Amino acid sequence: MGSLSVNLCGIELDNPVIPASGTFGYGYEYAELYDINELGTFSFKGTTKDPRFGNSTPRIAECTSGMINAVGLQNPGVEKVISEELPKLKSCFYKPVMANVSGFSVDDYAYTCRLLDEQEQVGWLEVNVSCPNVHGGGMSFGTQPEAAAAVTRAVKAVTTKPVIIKLSPNVTDIVSIAKACEDAGADGISLINTMLGMRIDLRTRKPVIANKMGGFSGPAIFPVALRMVYQVANAVQIPVVGMGGVSSAEDVIEMMLAGATAVEVGAANLVNPYICRDIIRDLPRVMEKYRISALKDIIGGAN
Amino acid sequence: MKQSLFSIVSNTPLTDNVYKMILSGDTSAITAPGQFVNIQLSGKFLRRPISVCDYDGETLTIIYKVVGKGTEQMAAMAPGETLDILTGLGNGYALAPAGDRPVLLGGGVGVPPLYHLAKRLLALGKEVTVVLGFNTASEIFYEQEFQALGCKTFVTTVDGSYGKKGFVTDALPEKYTYFYTCGPEPMLKAVYRATNTSGQMSFEQRMGCGFGACMGCSCKTLTGSKRICKEGPVMRKEEILWEA
């Protein structure tokens, strides 16, 4: 059997498959179904400084080959995540976990990351810069290179753990933002977050989602995600984590050929809770089919 | 929760747009009346959450209304076809607080989950009264089925074309020890106001996963935020927080 292991920012992963934040909670719902230690790691639910209920419902809309969500970063706040969620997580997952962090100001990010940095089980900090900057007129941090770099610097200053900046695809030039994060000290880049989308109910003639718009994810966005991963991986020296519509072992390999060191799986978990395990178990077969002996050898192979 | 393949035994219309589907498969994950299943349909991305009407060791009965393309697709399925289903989702109704004479109030496609609940309450020796509310006579289903179980059964229609004219709350029995209800939210609100005992209410919401992972169906309650799919769909009257 070929080798599935990869090294993500200095930490060895048994395989490159990582359930994406917001689709895997803190792991224990899935741990009821299978041993989640089969995963490379997982990125836990986006955590903020303060508790958040999130947006009004409906928060979910179905699309052709995908879905829209406008959950709005519901989470109990970093203190409760540390005191209540992480102990439960530890009981079903023994590997380093990826901590996903969001914020509404640079100080928010630094506060949350500083607390999570102290948690032994946290291997990486994945910093989501797609949130609106309340001090910056509500524009997302991830849409401006300077703002994304400011978040990166602030987080790097409070942690020794690898910092992976998670980028939004809703920008004109994702490469310049990725480079700004790299220059500011980021250890890795993950992309893509969801694409801004919308559905309208023909009966009510109103948006399906209470928030009107939300993040579109699922297999439909895979080609867009792949293209952006390819562009960013070609422009930066740091590792790239690819995600967006991945739902098969073939998709994982395609993302890696585009330049991804590891691959996150999001929306697919919500439809088939076993999908990440199934992908991991299917990878050796697909690797053999395409004569791949070690996954780490194919990273960026399409460049 | 369990993911498994079920085979369709029958799929028959009960009214113009309400269908009853009996499936055979592994029902071992279903632990309480009022739970739901989440059904994968070919060509559809998200699963369809449908309440469990009845189940035993090897069969599952669901009743669904055709409201969109997914349920249209289900209505066209034939015996022998298979469906990938997540079973054992949600908390379901708790039987313990029922008292001797519980009343069950169902509106439209909120009626089905009350069927297995009635069975279980009758098995505990309770005197079960059921009030089924519909818009009009042609939409009525399961009146005889509840009667056949041995429930005292009343029907209300909004237009008065059958049974008592009005809503389920217009046919509340004089004395009951506890209530269980499922139906559209305006009905739940009316039941909340009209009942003078404690009770349990089953809620609906658009869901992503149906098993607690995505936080798509969260709601606020007096005891904190809850996921309709995981800590719900059944809430105790005392914890409900009506918004707007």
Residue B207, both tokens: 């869901």
Distances (CA, A) of B187 to A158, A287, B52: 52, 56, 20
- The structural domains of chain A, with segments of one domain joined by +, span 6-54+73-196+219-298
Nearest CB to B220 within list A32, A53, A59: A53
How crowded is residue A291: how many other Cβ atoms within 10 Å of its Cβ? Answer: 7
Rounded Cα–Cα distance for residues A75 and A43 (Å): 14
Say if CB B61 and CB B106 are below 8 A apart.
no
Q: Could you tell me which residues are beta bridge partners of residue A4?
A: none
What residue ranges define each of the domains in chain B, with the CATH number in brackets? Answer: 2-89 (2.40.30.10), 96-202 (3.40.50.80)
Q: Give the whole-angstrom CA distance, residue A78 versus residue A224.
A: 32
- What's the confidence (pLDDT) of residue A138? 66
C-alpha–C-alpha distance, residues A295 and A212, integer Å: 41
Give the Cα separation of A226 and A245 in Å (integer). 9
Please provide the average confidence, as pLDDT, over all residues in chain A: 96
Positions of A annotated as catalytic residues are 131
The whole-number pLDDT of residue B244 equals 59
- Using the Cβ of A266 and the Cβ atoms of chain B, whether some distance falls under 8 Å is answered with no
Beta-bridge partner residues of B105? B131, B181
Tokens 């015996």 sit on residue: B79
Give residue-wise pLDDT tens across range B111-159. Answer: 999 999 999 999 999 999 999 999 999 999 999 999 999 999 999 999 9
Kindly list the residues from chain B whose CB atom is less than 8 angstroms away from the CB atom of residue A214: none
pLDDT of residue A33: 93
Q: Give the mean pLDDT of A2-23.
A: 97
* Residues of A with Cβ-Cβ distance to B40 under 8 angstroms: 271-272
DSSP 8-state class, residue B47: -
Model's pTM, two decimal places? 0.95
Tell me whether B219 touches chain A (CB under 8 Å): yes
B40 touches A at CB < 8 Å: yes
Q: Label residues B74-89 b or e (16+ Cβ within 10 Å = b).
A: bbeeeeeeebbbbbbb
* Contact with chain A for residue B165, Cβ under 8 A: no
Task: Inform me whether the C-beta atom of residue A269 falls under 8 Å from chain B C-beta atoms.
Answer: yes
At A180, the pLDDT band (50, 70, 90 cuts) reads very high
A176 close to A147: Cβ distance less than 8 angstroms: no
Task: Specify the pLDDT at position A137.
Answer: 66
Contact call for A33 and B1, based on CB within 8 A: yes
Q: Cα(A24)–Cα(A42) distance, rounded to whole angstroms?
A: 8
- Residue of B218, B221, B224 whose CA lies nearest to B236: B221
A3 vs B: CB within 8 A: no
What pLDDT band is residue B243 in, cutting at 50, 70 and 90?
A: confident
Q: Is B227 exposed, middle or buried (0-12, 13-18, 19+ CB in 10 A)?
A: buried
Q: What's the CA gap between A54 and A51, in Å, rounded?
A: 9
Q: Which CATH number applies to A6-54+73-196+219-298?
A: 3.20.20.70
Find which of B4, B5, B46, B48 to mutate to test the A interface (most A CBs within 10 Å of its CB).
Answer: B46
* H/E stretch holding B152: strand B152-157
Q: What is the pLDDT of residues B52-98, one digit of tens each?
A: 999 999 999 999 999 999 999 999 999 999 999 999 999 999 999 99
Q: What digits encode the pLDDT tens for the residues A132-177? A: 766 766 678 999 999 999 999 999 999 999 999 999 999 999 999 9
Contact flag B216-A71 (C-beta cutoff 8 Å): yes
CA-closest candidate to residue A263, choices A213, A190, A171, A194:
A190
Asked if A57 and B45 come within 8 Å (Cβ–Cβ), the reply is: no
The letter for the amino acid at B213 is A
Which residues of B are less than 8 Å from A22 in CB distance? Answer: 214-215
Kindly determine whether residue B216 and residue A25, on different chains, have CB atoms separated by under 8 Å.
no
pLDDT band at A279, cuts 50/70/90? very high
